[in-house]
Structure 1
Amino acid sequence: MPHATAPDGTRIACQVRGAGAPLLLLSGQSNSHRWWDSVRADFDAERTTVTLDWRGTGDSEKPDQPYSTTGFAEDVIAVLDALGVDRADVYGTSMGGRVAQWLAARHPARVRRLVLGCTSPGGVHGFERDRAVSTALASRDHRAARATLLDLMYTPGWLSTHPGPHGTIGDPGMPAYARGRHLTASRRHDAWDVLPDISAPTLVVHGSADVFNPAANAPLLTRRIPGARMHLIPDARHAYFEEFRDVASPLVLDFLDEPED
């Protein structure tokens, strides 16, 4: 498995599959590249997909030091540099979408087209989830907290026929301190001021029933990023890309395949 070296010396594991133009897939908070396992084949058929394990997850190093979404973006640049990828399409979901905002704003030459899924601009302008949801997720009853997380990710009907394992509810091998570092990085994200600097054609995708990262963030991002367009997937929750993959994957690929202006 290849590794890249981040600016601070941390080794970041990355994975490359498929063939074709490069597509960078960025996973959610406290998750490794396994986040994409259930749908990656949808993109491998047409693209060279690049993923990475965020620092603190998977096969990447796990320093016990402050993490940030801006720092994660620099880790991504280190991965692209190590792989010799000058420019890629970028599809970031949840915290990966937060990182993708910085990537597109600060490194515009590296991003051809941008998809922001189930994410938020953060800061005082972003819509936060209800406090009761956060309280339930922080329960010391780990089984109850896990059940809450699954309910936020998927509809009950889908869960009844897909008992798991689920690759979107956290890297099981992640140290507790790293989980805390990820949570803090996500909570402190605030890209509001740089969103107008994003020049890549942008698609914002969100599940209409997402309360984990409220769907109200989608129109907020769409209005703030020049020329962005939005697609809400009816009845979908946070893991729309998996449960509603028959809608979401073609939607993203069609957007990425649009001809340049």
Structure 2
Amino acid sequence: MPAGKRLPALNEIQFLELQSLVEHASGVILLPDRRAVIAARLARRLRHYQLATFADYLHLLTLPGQHAERQRVVELLVAKETYFFREHRHFEFLAHWLAEHPGPTRLWSAACASGEEAYSLAMVASEHAVNDNWRILASDMSPGMLGLAREGIYDIAQARYFPQGWLQRYCQCGVGEMAGRLQVQLALRERVSWRQINLIQALPDDLGVFDAILLRNLLSCFSQDDKQRVVQRLLARLRPGGLLLIGHSESIHGLGLPLRPILPSVFERLC
């Protein structure tokens, strides 16, 4: 699709093909009311391949050797809004919890996207943990997102909800060509381990057990069956008495899980 040309239509059958591809790869269900957004996000791929229609692009995805392009589609279409200290009440709660929880402490940002959640968690742990014996695992299914997260470079607008003084304490602000951007300081980046994990698949055997797991703003994209399976997998890696945090607008009601609500969207694993 040449630059400047009108965006081609994404019809219902083509949308359903994309929906099936994304759900199979990630468990995420694309909603029909997002069709226009989906078309806009994929327009750059049509331009990249100089294709005129979504039918041409969907055919390309079926060809041998296009695994990387199919993965790129999933990354483009499941990308979620993220910024530092999103849903800040979770971090306020964790600050108090860490202050009363002697280490060692293992924390898992299970759907970390481009890393803002994991670094927010690391800042809170640096400020409030009883001692320095804490570590964070951050995982995502997208290699591209994990690459961005490891670099720790973000637009300064992503820092609009930083507590006072934390931007200067934990980040370096860019100058010259990097003006308007920030980078998380190396000492903090080194406290986070990054790993590619697809939560709808079996988890790696060597993950170990965690004291708190954040799985926020992803469950609402899953079918009820996938939601059940994903949370059960995570609970198998959460110690009894450990915490599971989900998005404020999400629900795990009716799944019959061994969890006790502490606050809305914060749960404690029972024995």
**Structure with bigger RCO (C-alpha 8 Å, 6+ apart):** 1
Q: Which has the larger radius of gyration?
A: 2
TM-score by length of 1: 0.29
